[in-house]
């Protein structure tokens, strides 16, 4: 994540929050590390005030811990947090799947199908970064097709925590293969617009992912 290019002014707050969130999720700002406020202000071309406002947003998302008179630090990934977040995310994704099957346009369904086939090719090639990006795109597309801003807002807040854990964990090849097979079922449910089945499969997929993270992070 690029943290050295000055920000554009019209969307300063939103872009600042987004860049910092991505840097945390991708590990550029490491868990437990103190947030280098002066360095970030210089690199991003902002003052302390907007930076601290952005940090407050990320603190509400659980990605940052604000410490009185000591600045801020990046929160650690804990299994307790993941165990609490995953069941909620599973419910949100399940609902998104049901709504998407009912409300998505044919073009949106086609795009999700195409992205699945991209993801399968990346798996066959052993390209984890490209695979994970396609996987992210699929889940994001389902959420967008659900046409529910409130659902999307809550999902975005929680999913950044899960994304960070997944990138930090060294998920096994066997779990990767299982996840691909799970997505073949998800793809079939999307293609047939079977909202009930898709909801169930997405919840199971998230529960299996949590189990794999427990193994990888302990």
Q: What CATH number corresponds to the domain at position 29? A: 1.10.10.10
- Asked if the structure places residue 3 within a domain, the reply is no
Is residue 25 domain-shared with residue 65, that is, in the same domain?
yes
- Asked if the structure places residue 1 within a domain, the reply is no
Is residue 54 domain-shared with residue 20, that is, in the same domain?
yes
Which pLDDT score is estimated for 99?
98
Which pLDDT score is estimated for 8?
53
The mean per-residue pLDDT over the stretch 168-185 comes to: 88
Mean pLDDT for all residues in the chain: 90
Q: What CATH number corresponds to the domain at position 165? A: 1.20.120.530
- Asked if the structure places residue 4 within a domain, the reply is no
| Per-residue DSSP letter, 10 | T
Contact predicate 160/63, CB 8 Å: yes
pLDDT greater than 90 at residue 193: yes
Last residue of a domain, one of 28, 50, 74: 74
Is residue 106 domain-shared with residue 148, that is, in the same domain?
yes
Q: Domains in the chain: how many in total?
A: 2
Is residue 150 domain-shared with residue 208, that is, in the same domain?
yes
The rounded Cα 100 to chain-centroid distance in angstroms is 18
Is residue 206 domain-shared with residue 101, that is, in the same domain?
yes
> Which range has the worst mean pLDDT, 74-83, 141-150, 156-165, 202-211?
156-165
Split at pLDDT 50, 70, 90, the class of 33 is very high
Domain range holding 55? 12-74
The mean per-residue pLDDT over the stretch 194-218 comes to: 92
**Angle made by CA atoms 123, 129, 135, in degrees to the nearest 5:** 65
pLDDT greater than 60 at residue 7: no
The mean per-residue pLDDT over the stretch 46-59 comes to: 93
Which pLDDT score is estimated for 215?
84
pLDDT greater than 60 at residue 141: yes
Question: Coil, strand, or helix at residue 72?
Answer: strand
pLDDT greater than 80 at residue 68: yes
Which pLDDT score is estimated for 165?
79
Which pLDDT score is estimated for 140?
94
What Å distances lie between residue 87 and 56, 139, 154, 159, CA to CA?
25, 16, 13, 12
Is residue 27 domain-shared with residue 111, that is, in the same domain?
no
Question: 79-103 vs 173-191: helix axis angle to the nearest 10?
Answer: 20
Contact predicate 2/18, CB 8 Å: no
- DSSP H/E element including 78: none
Lookup result for tokens 């009912």: 102
* pTM for the whole structure: 0.78
**Which residues face 74 on adjacent strands?**
64
d(CA 88, CA 152): 13
């Amino acid at each position: 994540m690029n943290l050295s290019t000055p920000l554009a002014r019209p969307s300063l707050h939103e872009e600042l929050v987004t860049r910092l969130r991505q840097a945390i999720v991708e590990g550029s700002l490491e868990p437990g590390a103190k947030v280098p406020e002066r360095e970030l202000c210089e690199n991003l071309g902002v003052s302390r005030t907007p930076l601290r406002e952005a940090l407050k947003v990320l603190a509400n998302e659980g990605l940052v811990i604000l410490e009185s008179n000591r600045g801020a630090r990046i929160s650690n990934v804990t299994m307790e947090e993941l165990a609490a977040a995953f069941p909620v995310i599973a419910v949100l994704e399940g609902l998104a799947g049901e709504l998407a099957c009912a409300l998505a346009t044919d073009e949106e369904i086609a795009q999700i199908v195409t992205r699945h086939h991209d993801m399968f090719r990346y798996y066959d090639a052993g390209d984890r970064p490209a695979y994970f990006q396609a996987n992210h795109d699929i889940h994001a597309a389902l959420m967008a097709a659900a046409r529910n801003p409130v659902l999307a807002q809550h999902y975005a807040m929680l999913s950044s925590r899960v994304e960070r854990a997944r990138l930090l964990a060294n998920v096994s090849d066997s779990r990767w293969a299982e996840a691909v097979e799970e997505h073949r079922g998800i793809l079939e449910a999307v293609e047939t617009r079977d909202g009930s089945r898709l909801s169930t499969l997405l919840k199971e997929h998230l529960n299996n992912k949590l189990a794999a993270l427990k193994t990888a992070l302990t």
